[in-house]
Amino acid sequence: MEKLPQLGLIELYYGDESRVSIEPCVPYGWQFKDEKVFMPSSKGAGLNCFALLNRACDLLFETTRKRITSEFIIKQLEELSFSIKKMTVLVLDNARVHTSKQMQVRRPFWQQRGLFIFYLPPYSPHLNIVERLWRKLKYEWLQPEDYTTTEGLFYQVRQALSAVGKGLKIRFSEFNLGLS
């Protein structure tokens, strides 16, 4: 099968947010019969992350200890809209922070600059590739010892996100356009 050329007509990013906290995300584990296993846990302390990811593993992200609001997202998209070089489509889910009235008011201004937002159908996280980023971050890239302190965890999260596309890669399947 012949591989289709990358035309590069638009930039396509997928966006979403996630929270990483000192309360570890450990889906399962095992231990020896007489071994004691302990992982520190504390509610409350968390780092909220907003990320824009494309299939080439180019990642734009921002973190905050505050809640991610529409105003936070708008600030990130304003900065992006002034830096884009060609038409850019941003795929988002239907979270309130993405569909708020404030976001809808800004959309025409972003579109004039070449930034367009496409909303996924409800209940379709499997269509948003940035969900793979969060899964990799929480289940593979962060280690149990990273959860020892809040500051250490936040540092490791930012280090991992900074390494995406450089040392850390996510392999995405190729598009099948059904042209063969």
Starting at the earlier edge strand, list the strands of the sheet with 46-53. 59-64, 46-53, 11-21, 88-92, 115-119
Superfamily of domain 11-19+46-163: Ribonuclease H-like superfamily/Ribonuclease H (3.30.420.10)
Q: How far is Cα 47 from Cα 37, in angstroms, rounded to an integer?
A: 25
Q: Of residues 133 and 29, which shows the higher confidence score? A: 133
Beta bridge partners of 18: 49
pLDDT in tens, 102-118: 999 999 999 999 999 99
Return the number of other C-beta atoms located less than 10 Å from residue 51's C-beta. 22
pLDDT in tens, 25-69: 665 666 778 887 766 566 667 899 999 999 999 999 999 999 999
Specify the pLDDT at position 3: 47
For 7, residues 6+ apart whose C-beta sits below 8 A from its C-beta are none
Specify the pLDDT at position 135: 94
Strands 46-53, 11-21: pairing is: antiparallel
DSSP 8-state secondary structure symbol assigned to residue 173? P
Specify the pLDDT at position 88: 96
